[in-house]
Amino acid sequence: MPLPLNYYDSSGIWSWAKLVELWRFRELLYTFFVRDLTIRYRQVLIGVAWVLIQPALSMLIFISLFGLLKTRATADGSQYASDAAVVFLGVWCWQFFASALRDGTGVLVNYRHVITKVYFPRILLPMASVLCALFDFLIGGFVLVPILWITNCTIFWNHIWAIPLLVVWMVLLCVACVAWLSSLNATYRDVGYALPFVLQIGMYLSPAVYDASRIPERWMTLYQSNPMASIITWFRWSLLGGPAPSVIATLAAIGVTALLLVSGLAWFERSERLMADRI
Amino acid sequence: MNEIAIHVDKVSKCFKIGSGTEYARLTEALASNIKAATKLIWHKTKSQIRRVDNLAVDKACDSRRDGNTFWALRDINFHVHCGEAVGIVGGNGAGKSTLLKILSRIVSPTSGRVGVRGRVGCLLEVGTGFHPELTGRENVFLNGTILGMSRREIRRRFDEIVSFAEVETFIDTPVKRYSNGMIIRLGFSVAAHFEPEVLIIDEVLGVGDAAFQAKSLAKAKEFRDEGRTVLLVSHYMPSVIEFATRAILLQDGSVVADGDPAQIVDMHLLQNTKDQY
């Protein structure tokens, strides 16, 4: 069967053909993912153990800090047996988000020697960074087992089904953010400089190291329309049985994610055409 | 006549020149985007007037500058049929490399469209995406998939690729311990075992020595003889005459002649000598 004559021009809109093309390039996504992982753990003595140490250590530091300040991560009278699992869940999710954004933002600039030499859907590069962060996130989850065991917490099996949905939500949120950040960073390097600072602020605006129950009730809906705030709170709900965010806040958070995703992919598509010229 | 393999339809490409400051700030970029959008609407309604303006500018400057935009290519039109071997010749800055980059989709045209049947393989530079920390084996897979091969295709031809590059004993050593020659050989070997429907070769940008250039030309001939479509850009006229079945002469971003390689090369050389005196 003869191959079709495929036309392309300067217009950049998301279309069905784009999705078909992405599917055709799925092996490249896998290759980028494997490459990022291999490079990360080459010439590293303890290898994957870093992924386990990072969230565990952060959690210990914050727990100790709360101990010194004679306070708790959760509000008084909360049903959690111990703060350790609560803080770990938050730090664990946040580190996934932060490392996906950190790696994804610079990836187009780091691979500009490839971008200016060969064509492929550029979105694959930031997507591979997200996959890499997801891999670390899933491995890091194993630290939960000893934490729950030591602190005598019980897992709330009734809500466990929500976890995969939350992970998918978080991945989509990361893709949305890196689509924006990486393409902006290709033209304006300021994005890369501003990001660590913004991530630090973001961490305190999300219930990463404390529980959302510490937030005053009248700010709650606004606070939890931040997708990461909602996701982390839902995570605690599904694993530890904490209070769930309100429906309105959750819908708002999903709306924010969807908006970011659609606009991010559209923007990426637009800037993709000029990427090789501008980067 | 064969089917069309490449269709270049009214392709133009312009670059902004001397404007490091124009896009320096986000606010300015947004402002200029809005400006561009309004200009586009204006442009569409007043296209007739605009065209006259352009002609006037052309005559006045006799160059490709138009304010602070530079036309690397202007209104390029041609077809390439399946199985043709086309040489693209032209002086420095005639737009050859820009044309190749548009054909291989690395950059997109400012206006016009390009149609290609099948996959485009590009020998612009070998070893694209090689990572020093990865082994030869990992780099073959990485580089191969970046070029557009499937992993199955690479697995099938892996032994051939390695033996062609003569790096069998080092295939599981990180590439950072390779010599330059080995890296180039391995990169070329991967590219040479890719079998796209359309192959684009830029000898000008090609790395390596005379032996390497000869190797890439030999590869191009192999492709041509298999009946695939090949586009060759070269500064070395004898190889164009020897290799191509048809040639296109680019000058100042436009196609000025299209036809028999020997005649086109003569025209080009004549043009060069005229420019020199």
- A180 domain-assigned: yes
Q: Which of A6, A42, A119 sits opposite B115 (nearest CB)?
A: A6
Predicted complex ipTM: 0.81
CA angle B22-B23-B28, nearest 5°? Answer: 85
- B42: tokens are 């204006």
pLDDT score of A183: 92
- A5 domain-assigned: no
pLDDT band at A232, cuts 50/70/90? very high
For residue B5, which phi and psi values (nearest 5 degrees)? -100, -40
Question: Which residue in chain A is spatially nearest to B150 when comparing CA positions?
Answer: A27
**Which DSSP string corresponds to A40-73?**
HHTT-SSTTHHHHHHHHHHHHHHHHHHHHTT--S
pLDDT score of B208: 57
pLDDT band at A7, cuts 50/70/90? confident
> What is the pTM for the complete model shown?
0.84
Name the least confident of A158-167, A219-228, A247-256, B30-39: B30-39
Q: Based on the number of CB atoms within 10 Å of its own CB, is B6 exposed (0-12), middle (13-18) or buried (19 or more)?
A: buried
Q: When comparing pLDDT for A20 and A193, which is higher?
A: A193
Average per-residue pLDDT for chain A: 89
pLDDT score of A179: 95
- A13 domain-assigned: no
**Disruptive mutation site among A119, A187, A275 for chain B (greatest number of B CBs within 10 Å):** A119
Give the separation between CA A151 and CA A149, rounded to whole angstroms: 6
Give the separation between CA A35 and CA A91, rounded to whole angstroms: 26
- A3 domain-assigned: no
- B25: tokens are 């700030």
Asked if B189 is an interface residue toward chain A (Cβ–Cβ < 8 A), one would say no
Q: Which of A2, A5, A9 sits opposite B112 (nearest CB)?
A: A9
Name the least confident of A13-22, A222-231, B19-28, B148-157: B19-28
Q: Domain range holding A87?
A: 23-278
| Mean pLDDT, 10 residues at a time, chain B of 277 residues | 83 74 57 70 52 42 67 90 90 85 88 88 76 91 90 93 89 91 86 87 63 74 87 83 90 89 88 72
Say yes or no for a CB contact (<8 Å) between B146 and A277: no
Domain count, chain A: 1
- A267 domain-assigned: yes
**Which DSSP string corresponds to A180-204?**
HHHHHHHH-THHHHHHHHHHHHHHH
B204 DSSP 8-state letter = T
- A76 domain-assigned: yes
Say yes or no for a CB contact (<8 Å) between B145 and A28: yes
What would the mean pLDDT of A75-92 be, rounded to a whole number? 83
Residues of chain B neighbouring A118 (CB-CB closer than 8 A): 104, 106, 122, 124, 128-129, 146-147
pLDDT score of A242: 84
Distance from CA of A54 to the nearest CA of B (A): 24
Distance from CA of A203 to the nearest CA of B (A): 25
pLDDT score of A83: 84
Question: Which residue in chain A is spatially nearest to B152 when comparing CA positions?
Answer: A27
Say yes or no for a CB contact (<8 Å) between B133 and A31: no
Q: When comparing pLDDT for B84 and A48, which is higher?
A: B84
Interface of A with B (CB under 8 A): 2-10, 12, 27-28, 30-31, 35, 38-39, 42-43, 111, 113-120, 187-188, 190, 273-274, 276-278
Asked whether the predicted pLDDT for residue A248 surpasses 90, the reply is yes
The strand pair at B69-81 and B65-66 is best described as antiparallel
Question: Which residue in chain B is spatially nearest to A40 when comparing CA positions?
Answer: B133
pLDDT score of B192: 84
Residues 6+ away with beta carbon under 8 Å from B172: B135, B136, B137
Asked if B116 is an interface residue toward chain A (Cβ–Cβ < 8 A), one would say yes
pLDDT score of B49: 41
- A10 domain-assigned: no
Helices (H) and strands (E) in chain B, counts: 9, 10
Asked whether the predicted pLDDT for residue A191 surpasses 80, the reply is yes
Residues of chain B neighbouring A273 (CB-CB closer than 8 A): 107-108
Say yes or no for a CB contact (<8 Å) between A8 and B110: no
Radius of gyration of chain A (CA): 20
pLDDT score of B56: 41
Give the separation between CA B100 and CA B118, rounded to whole angstroms: 16
* Matching residue, tokens 């250039």: B213
pLDDT score of A98: 96
3-state DSSP call for residue B45?
Answer: helix
Give the separation between CA A233 and CA A93, rounded to whole angstroms: 10
Give the separation between CA B99 and CA B109, rounded to whole angstroms: 9
Residues of chain A neighbouring B134 (CB-CB closer than 8 A): 35, 38-39, 42
Give the separation between CA A93 and CA B157, rounded to whole angstroms: 42
- A18 domain-assigned: no
The strand pair at B229-233 and B85-89 is best described as parallel
Q: When comparing pLDDT for A227 and A81, which is higher?
A: A227
